[in-house]
Structures are given as C-alpha cells and as structure tokens.
Structure 1
Amino acid sequence: MAKGKNVLTTGDVAKICNVAPRTVSKWFDSGQLKGYRIPGSKDRRIPLSELVRFMKAHNMPTGTLSVGKLRVLVIDSDEHSRAALVGGLTAKDSYEVRAAGTTFETGAAIQRFTPHVVLINLLANGIDAGGICRSIRDNEEYATIKLIALANQLSEPEAAALIQKGFDGYVSNPSDAAEVIGRIEEVTAIIY
C-alpha cells in the first residue's frame, strides 16, 4: 500500500489504519495527524513519516507499512565537523544522511532529498540558519520537517528563543552523535 510513497492521501491512510476516510479527515482537521492541503483544493496529504509517528503514538500496528529510512540533512559550513556528524549518523542503519555546506546547497537538498529532519549548525559561516528556518516554516509542503539547532552550550533564554523561532529542538554538544541521535528520535517520536 504505502510502498514507495512518501506522501499519502486520506484514502490511503484510511486503508492502512482500517478506518473510514472521514475519520482520517477528523484526525487531520483536529491537528492530531499533521500534513498539508493541496493548494486550491480541499484534498489533504499526510507524509508517511507523520503517519508512522501518529500510529506509534496511538499504539497502532505499523507492520504493514514499508517505512524506509529516516532522512536527515546536516547543514554545516565546516567540512570537518560536517563529515564527523554525517559519519556518526550513518552508523545508524535506519538513517539516510546527506549534507550541505551553504544556504544555496541547503535549498537544493531540501527539494531533492525531502528530509524528515534538518540539523543546522548555528555557528556555521555563510549559512543563514534563521532564514532557512523561516523558509521551511513558511512553506506548507515542508510542514512536517523537524528542525534541530546545533550550538555549543546554549543558555536557557537562547534555547527558548530558538523554539520560539520555529526550531523543534537543539543539541548543545553537536560532536556527541549519541546526543544528536537522541534528539532526532525525540523530535520525530519514532521508537526504534
């Protein structure tokens, strides 16, 4: 059913969950199941990653889904730290990881790779982390992308400001792959 599809219709979700399409529409309209509407239409679309999160949160079996890997995009202008983080994340078999070193590369990667999670180094030279965050948050097509800020030793007010700006979380020690993976799993609510 969902094999090879990254985005599902309410009818697809209804068949997977064994419920009526109207039930899926109610989940969507109440905000329990996130997704987006097709512009100029009332049709709803639900990303597969969001359906998996929803099903796990409600103890629904996900065995019938062909989930694939969690796509993670690492944005960092420092080649050494970017390569180290990519290496740490690719050690996890359930992740597919790509990297970008500039704001331009980031835009192209988001369109082509359609990541589930974007990790942005806030201290990267030549990368507008705030602008990237705003662009993603202002585009309904990317509504389910989770954004995680990477920065060293954030204060509580700085961390709170990041969440206010639209980030889903942050990591204070980006060189610790275990901390980064923990935060990814927390914001995506996927239990491995």
Structure 2
Amino acid sequence: MQESFSTGEIAKFCQVNLRTVIRWIEAGKIKGYKLPGRGNNRVSREELLRFMQEYDMPIPDVLSQPAISDTILIIDDEAPFANAIQRALRKAKYATVIANGGFQAGVMLKSFKPTLITLDLSMPGLSGYDVIAFIRSQEDLANTKILVISALPSHKLKEALEAGANDVLSKPFDNKTLLNKVANLITG
C-alpha cells in the first residue's frame, strides 16, 4: 500500500514550518512529487520514514505503525462528494487520494496503483465509462476494484457493471453502505 502525505502533514510530523518541508523537497533531501493540475507536493509514507530515520528524527506513532489499509483513489469532479467519500474512508483508516477528473485519474492510477477506486460516471472530458475501459485494458491495473458512485438512473449503473465495474452505489449514499461495499470489495 502506498500512502502519501502533504507538506503540511509532514511539517506537523517533523515539528517544523511548512516552508522548511518545501525546502527539503526542493533540495532533494526528501523525494516528493506534485499532484497533476494542482502543484501540491506529496511524499510517500516509505520516503518520509526513510528521511526521518536518516536524520534521526523521532517517528510519531501514527507513522511507526504499518499502514492499516489499502489505498483508494476517489474519482469525482464534484468536490463536496469527493470530500464526503474521503472523510468516510479516512475515518475507517483507509489511505485515500482524490482525482477531480478522468485525465487526472489516469495519471494517478499509474502512480498509486490503488487497490480500489470509487468512480463517478458523469465527469467532463473522460467519462466514468472511459475510465472503466482504460482500467480493464491495462494489465497492471486489471485487478483494481471499481465501485461506481453515481446519481445516474439504475439502468446506467447496470451499464457500468456490464462495462467492468465491480459494484455500484447510488448518490446520495450513507456512509455505512459505502464502507460495507468498500470492505467487501477489498477483502473479496
């Protein structure tokens, strides 16, 4: 599982200023990457642990424990829904990242290789159906579980299942149903 952290989260872990973390990344002391289209720096759990050990920094309990769960990529162009999904999943201790559209999702799928994605079908640019087709055509992503979360009518959700989604959930949804479906897909 690959979990990543923002520069703000790293600053809290290391008890330094946010700008200090950015300087560490710019100087190459810690390897980070930028999220496409946003420019925000992220650092993987493994890289952060390597850096903190190399510089003899105390490692917070939250980092010293092995990661609790699998990475989930949330693909939804509507920020309120993406954030609601992320809050529910993070509360259940899942590592999450958000892609706000189909193109960004393609880049993040290749970077993170998530165990599961939640996917809205109605997005500008690449539709959810295009994303499903892309995932199912890629050998290295073929085992990625796909949970479609959409407000489209039931016949459209059925089409998503026929296209290769593993399960569907109608918007609006309740968190208990979301977490049950995610757990079943990851463990199944």
TM-score, with structure 2 as normaliser: 0.59
Find the counterpart in structure 2 of residue 47 from structure 1.
Answer: none
Aligned length: 125
Find the counterpart in structure 2 of residue 50 from structure 1.
Answer: none
Find the counterpart in structure 1 of residue 159 from structure 2.
Answer: 161
Match of 2:123, SS state, is: coil
Find the counterpart in structure 2 of residue 136 from structure 1.
Answer: 135
Match of 1:123, SS state, is: coil
Match of 1:180, SS state, is: helix
Residues in 1 aligned to 2:184 and 2:153: alpha-carbon distance in whole angstroms: 19
Whether the 8 Å contact between 1:77 and 1:126 is mirrored in structure 2 is no
Write the letter of the residue equivalent to 1:82.
A
Superimposed CA distance per residue, residues 86-134 of structure 1 (whole angstroms, 9 cap, x where no aligned partner): 11111112x1100000212101111111100011111334441111101
Question: Which runs of 5 or more structure 1 residues have no equivalent in the other structure?
Answer: 6-65
Whether the 8 Å contact between 2:151 and 2:172 is mirrored in structure 1 is yes
Find the counterpart in structure 1 of residue 49 from structure 2.
Answer: none
Note closer, same or farther for the CA distance 1:132–1:153 as it changes in structure 2 (3 Å cut): closer
Find the counterpart in structure 2 of residue 173 from structure 1.
Answer: 171
Residues in 2 aligned to 1:126 and 1:87: alpha-carbon distance in whole angstroms: 26
Find the counterpart in structure 2 of residue 187 from structure 1.
Answer: 185
Write the letter of the residue equivalent to 1:183.
K
Match of 2:119, SS state, is: strand
Match of 1:110, SS state, is: helix
Residues in 2 aligned to 1:152 and 1:77: alpha-carbon distance in whole angstroms: 13
Structure showing the higher helix proportion among its residues: 2
Residues in 2 aligned to 1:148 and 1:174: alpha-carbon distance in whole angstroms: 14
Residues in 1 aligned to 2:115 and 2:176: alpha-carbon distance in whole angstroms: 18
Whether the 8 Å contact between 2:75 and 2:119 is mirrored in structure 1 is yes
Question: Which runs of 5 or more structure 2 residues have no equivalent in the other structure?
Answer: 3-65
Residues in 2 aligned to 1:168 and 1:85: alpha-carbon distance in whole angstroms: 18
